[in-house]
Structure 1
Amino acid sequence: MAFIKNLKYKIENFVLDIPSLEIKDNEVTVLMGPSGAGKSTLFNLITGFIKYSDWQFEINGVDLAKKEISDRELGVVFQSFELFPHLTARENIELVMQSRKNNGAQAIADLEKFKNILSLTNCWNTKAQVLSGGEKQRVALLRAVMAKPRMLLLDEPFSALDLANKEEARKLVKSVLTEFKITTLLISHDTKDAQYFGPNLVLIDNGQIRPASS
């Protein structure tokens, strides 16, 4: 189980104030809110891109708030995907697998399986800089999953895709998350993401968590 507790972070005139937030174990929790609600600030605090330790971010009893970025062992899919452009799809994924020491026989079998499920076979040895938006999104997802993360963090993972690709991408992401059963926080402003990945919905507005029914 993942918990955020006692988080109060001020940046200029904005205050992110989250006394408590539960992210359900092995399920997808959708954090939804408008632009400026505090989603990006929370993302940067969780990942460690904002250095701030006066709060609790616990996963299975381990407080990650005071750990360095690399020691948090999160799997992240960025809004702009953040692949290494000079590396192939395969190399982008294998680099993370090696760094997390997730390169045993089972990991290799999982990689092969989901390479096919995500339709990455034809672009497997293509450099990331020439991949389509949909291909980059799928590579970024598989890279994050194969990092064997404590938790998966998806930051607006469908916003860079056109409407047709969004629908297909949602289906593929859900199939992978269902198979791997990873504790996941999906950050979005799109109500369709909440509808598709529900029922664990958390609303954020003006830096505060709101009841999903409001």
Structure 2
Amino acid sequence: MSILVENISKRFGSFQALDRVNLEIKNGSLVGLLGPSGSGKSTLLRVLAGLENPDSGRIWLEGQDATYRKLQEREIGFVFQNYALFPHLTVSENIAFGLDVKKIDFQLKRKRVQELLKLMQLEKFGDCYPNQLSGGQRQRVALARALAVEPKVLLLDEPFAALDAKIRKQLRSWLRELHHQISVTTVFVTHDHSEAMELAQEIVLLENGKIIQIGTAQELSDHPTNSFVKDFLEIDSV
């Protein structure tokens, strides 16, 4: 699904979280929203998801105005930073939650859950509970739950922030390969420039609620638009 962000602004009291943001995300792309704390990246993700309404501007999904649609009306899967798994449900039951809400046939639901357990390399953990899993495994369960309803867009808010460096690196490679397999339009938020540059096909760099630069990791490294980009990405002068 393609996404068009058109002149989006959002304030929280006197704080300008987003300031006339314009962005086009192509169908099937893997995009990283990058920036320091308070730059507007998580607010933009929540506006895309329908978890926040903009003060002005429009969100278009596949050419349709979705500005005030709720999350469940947008065909979007959202993965929260803290995973938000249900502790009283098993891994399989967590993955099946959205399918239960949609009252999917039992056999189809079971087949879909088994497919996702295999895709996420969690076949042995279907009957486990979240507190029996590692952080990386819980993150994969959260991704599986988001993908279970076959969304057209996957949104991830700081997906690896709570994990240690070694696990983060492993999951970056795994998520990149997963995206290659499923080709769902994917947008993730991060404050870690190395994570964005390693994982994203396109990086959107924000500061103070504005988009400062958009491009591939190579483009941002080779042609930073200003000193903020250069400093934030830790680009050395030659």
Q: TM-score under structure 1 normalisation?
A: 0.90
SS in 2 for 1:211: strand
| Greater relative CO (CA pairs within 8 A, separation 6+) | 1
* RMSD after superposition: 2.2
Distance 2:49 2:136 in 1: 24
Identity %: 33
Greater mean deviation of Cα atoms: 182-191 or 52-61: 52-61
Find the structure with the greater CA-based Rg: 2
Q: Which amino acid aligns with 2:126?
A: W
In structure 2, relative to structure 1, the CA distance for the partners of 1:5 and 1:104 (3 Å cut) is: farther
Distance 1:201 1:106 in 2: 37
Residue by residue over 1:3-30, the C-alpha shift from the partner in whole angstroms, topping out at 9 and shown as x without a partner, is: 1112111222322113410112101011
- Decide which of 95, 99, 106 is 1:97's aligned counterpart: 99
Displaced runs of 4 or more, over 4 A = 100-111
Residue by residue over 1:45-103, the C-alpha shift from the partner in whole angstroms, topping out at 9 and shown as x without a partner, is: 22222234632111111222111232122101111011111111111111113435666
Q: TM-score under structure 2 normalisation?
A: 0.81
What is the number of equivalent residue pairs in this alignment? 214
- Decide which of 127, 130, 144 is 1:128's aligned counterpart: 130
Matches within 5 A, 1:28-43: 28-43=30-45
Distance 1:22 1:101 in 2: 34
- Decide which of 122, 144, 147 is 2:146's aligned counterpart: 144
SS in 2 for 1:25: coil
- Decide which of 59, 72, 75 is 1:73's aligned counterpart: 75
Alignment-derived partner of residue 46 in structure 1: 48
Greater mean deviation of Cα atoms: 136-145 or 12-21: 12-21
In structure 2, relative to structure 1, the CA distance for the partners of 1:211 and 1:120 (3 Å cut) is: same
Q: Which amino acid aligns with 1:22?
A: E
**CA drift at 1:41:** 1.7
Alignment-derived partner of residue 2 in structure 1: 3
* Structure 2 unaligned spans of 5+: 215-223, 226-238
* Structure 1 unaligned spans of 5+: none
